[in-house]
Amino acid sequence: MADEEDQTEDEIQSAEIAARKDSPESNIANWLQTVHHGTLSTLSTKKGIEGFPIGSIVPFALDEFGRPFILVADIAAHTRNINKSNEVCLFLSDPNSTGDPQSHWRISLVGNMKRVVSSSEIGDISPELLEKSIQISDEEESTCSGSYPENF
């Protein structure tokens, strides 16, 4: 039992030392480049569980500034939730961790999600949702769709 406690303490100390070596921003940028899926949590709009967080695994890609883009279908619960409240959390963790998952890196990215709408979609979106969206040209959309990681 004492050996296990010593090993756990050593793992914690090693993780703390590793975390201090680099800046948190640098670590997060590296993790975003390493992992291509995470747990997206949104606030439910479903009757009976309204306002409760709902999470599921989602793939994501990064834009040229390192911001995650999440592909969510129009029929998905996350889409309905985001349309009502765009406050989200994307949780990432070390995919290669073994043993205690809390002794490895993990991060919760919180923010306000915006829908990306191409020129060809503008007519399909309500004015209210369009106002909350980022509008891109069809050319920009084709550029984005070709830039996802190969193992995505």
Mean pLDDT of 108-128: 78
Question: Whole-angstrom Cα distance, residue 73 to residue 40?
Answer: 14
With b for 16 or more beta-carbon neighbours within 10 A and e for fewer, the 124-134 pattern comes to ebeeeeeebee
Q: Which pLDDT value is given to residue 36? A: 87
List strands edge to edge, sheet with 53-62: 68-70, 53-62, 37-43, 87-93, 106-112
Question: Whole-angstrom Cα distance, residue 1 to residue 79?
Answer: 48
- Whole-number Cα distances in Å, 63 to 33, 49, 87: 11, 33, 20
The SS3 of residue 66 is coil
Domain 22-113 has CATH 1.10.3720.10: no
Mean pLDDT of 77-97: 91
| 148 pLDDT more than 70 | no
Parallel, antiparallel or unpaired: strands 106-112 and 87-93? antiparallel
Q: Which pLDDT value is given to residue 146? A: 44
Q: Which pLDDT value is given to residue 24? A: 76
Say what the pTM is.
0.69
| 151 pLDDT more than 50 | no
C-alpha triplet 75, 80, 81: angle, nearest 5°: 140
Q: Which pLDDT value is given to residue 147? A: 42
Provide the residue ranges of all domains of the chain, joining segments of one domain with +. Answer: 22-113, 114-152
Q: Which pLDDT value is given to residue 150? A: 41
For residue 152, what are its two tokens? 């995505």
What tens digit of pLDDT does each residue of 18-73 get?
656 667 778 888 888 889 899 999 999 999 999 999 999 999 888 888 888 887 78
Mean pLDDT of 116-132: 70
